[in-house]
Structure 1
Amino acid sequence: MAFSADELRVLRRALATALHPAPLHDEDVQDCLRLAESVDDAVREAGRLRAFLLDDLARYREALPGSLPGYLELLQDALAAGYDPAADDLAALRALRGNPRAAVLLERCQVLAERSVRARLARVCQASVTTAPAPRTRLLALPGGRAGDEPKPRPTPPPTPAERPVPKPSEVFPPRRRPVPPPPPEERVAG
């Protein structure tokens, strides 16, 4: 990103004001707002160009090996813009390593991919270290306060109730007894 001479003057005034706070004229405030808007536009445009470049790179990669010269050129442009090569790029370059230019790019991409993986691992490790809870320390009573230097008796733990054995399911739910069928009608009459 390049600034014009006018934008550099506005930036210099804004930095001077940030270092030595002083009231600003309305014109200076408007200049700073216009500069901020221009920077935001440039960042959005850079994002759009990057997305276009990466989409174009994916299209050329899918059309390999017929699109080899265009793919290699786009990949070099993307790497120059800070692109971390993806697994698809490494696989494509491995398949094309018979081409000397592709072999050179493969070596460069492998180095960049390894750096990228190491950087991500370092960030993950750093995040886990910073988010890990600190070990709990014992709280110590400070002398003074209400009790002064008197030794306090230790509280005794409450008595534990007598433990009862856990009942078996057959004790809680006795087995069902089958009902005895009534005697046949003939036996009732005879008796």
Structure 2
Amino acid sequence: MAFSADELRVLRRALANALHPTPLPDEDVQDCLRLAEAVDEAAREAGRLRAFLLADLARYRDALPGSLSGYLELLQDALAAGYDPRPDDLAALRALRGGPVAAALLERCQVLAERSVRARLAGRTAQVAPPAPRGRLLALPGGLAAAEEPERPRTPQPARPAAPGERPAPKPSEVFPPRRRPAPAPSPQEERAVS
């Protein structure tokens, strides 16, 4: 996850205030709430993209051997994102191990699967889970109003509307368009028929 320069300034102010608590101006409180909301949305989007990738991987695995190149590519992406290979993946790779890419992936997946089994036997889980949802940040102590009047319960902030000209977050189908199989090469008979 990457932060913009403005978000880093907000984060730095929030961390400094956590170390040395002082009343915060209302603008800083609002900035912290917006940053917390942006981080929550990024975590939700990462979970959606992971679910999309795993569903796509399952579709390509079910369409084997016709989807061989797409499946191997998606499996490599999933492994890079921390995916724990399933028995279906190992079985598919064993059937495809005649190719060098599939053979290398089978070897890698067997190592990961063995490590996962050992971790489970040792009482730990090696499977990467999405981050647990964290509690909502509803209010920070301080602000200008705190010095003038007693603290009132705060209402949750409404979702920030998109600014004019700002694009909403893309859907997974927009970011990852469906993969197309390359057209098969023409056979020698078809080439002769064309000439």
Fold shared per TM-score above 0.5: yes
SS of residue matched to 1:17: helix
- Show CA shifts across 1:2-22 (max 9, x none): 110000111111111111222
Match of 2:101 in 1: 101
> Per-residue displacement from partner, 1:78-132 (whole Å, max 9, x unpaired)?
111111111111111111111110000011111111222222333359xxxxxxx
1:65 and 2:76 matched: no
Cα distance in 2, alignment partners of residues 35 and 16 from structure 1 = 15
Partner of 1:114: 114
* Structure number with higher relative contact order (C-alpha < 8 Å, ≥ 6 residues apart): 2
Q: For 2:111 and 2:124, locate their aligned partners in 1 and report how far apart those are by CA, in whole Å.
A: 20
CA distance in 2, matches of 1:24, 1:73: 49
**Cα distance in 1, alignment partners of residues 11 and 94 from structure 2:** 47
Q: What percentage of residue pairs aligned between the two structures are identical? A: 86
Structure 1 unaligned spans of 5+ = 126-191
- What is aligned with 1:123? 123
2:52 maps to a residue whose letter is F
Q: Whole-Å Cα distance in 1 between the matches of residues 118 and 18 of structure 2?
A: 37
Give the equivalent residue in structure 2 for 1:46: 46
Which residue of the partner structure matches residue 19 of structure 2?
19
Residue type matched to 1:55 in 2?
A
Q: Cα offset for 1:54? A: 0.4
Alpha-carbon distance in 1 for matches of 2:25, 2:68: 57
| Distance in structure 2 (CA, Å) of the matches to 1:67 and 1:55 | 14
Q: In structure 2, what is the equivalent of residue 6 of structure 1?
A: 6
Where does structure 2 lack aligned partners over 5 or more consecutive residues?
A: 126-195
1:92 aligned onto 2:92:
yes
Map Cα deviations across residues 127-181 of structure 1 (whole Å, 9 max, x no partner): xxxxxxxxxxxxxxxxxxxxxxxxxxxxxxxxxxxxxxxxxxxxxxxxxxxxxxx
Deviations 1:52-100 (A, max 9, x none): 1100000000011111000000000011111111111111111111111
Name the CA shift for 1:123/1:11 in 2 (closer, same or farther; >3 Å): farther
Q: Determine helix, strand or coil for the equivalent of 1:74.
A: helix
Measured in 1, the distance between the counterparts of 2:20 and 2:123 equals 36
TM-score (norm 1): 0.63
Bigger-Rg structure (1/2): 1
Task: Measure, in 2, the Cα distance between the counterparts of 1:20 and 1:118.
Answer: 45
How many residues end up aligned between the 2 structures? 125
Q: Name the aligned partner's letter for residue 121 of structure 1.
A: L
- C-alpha root-mean-square deviation of aligned residues, in Å? 1.4
| Poorly superposed stretches of 4+, deviation over 6 Å | none
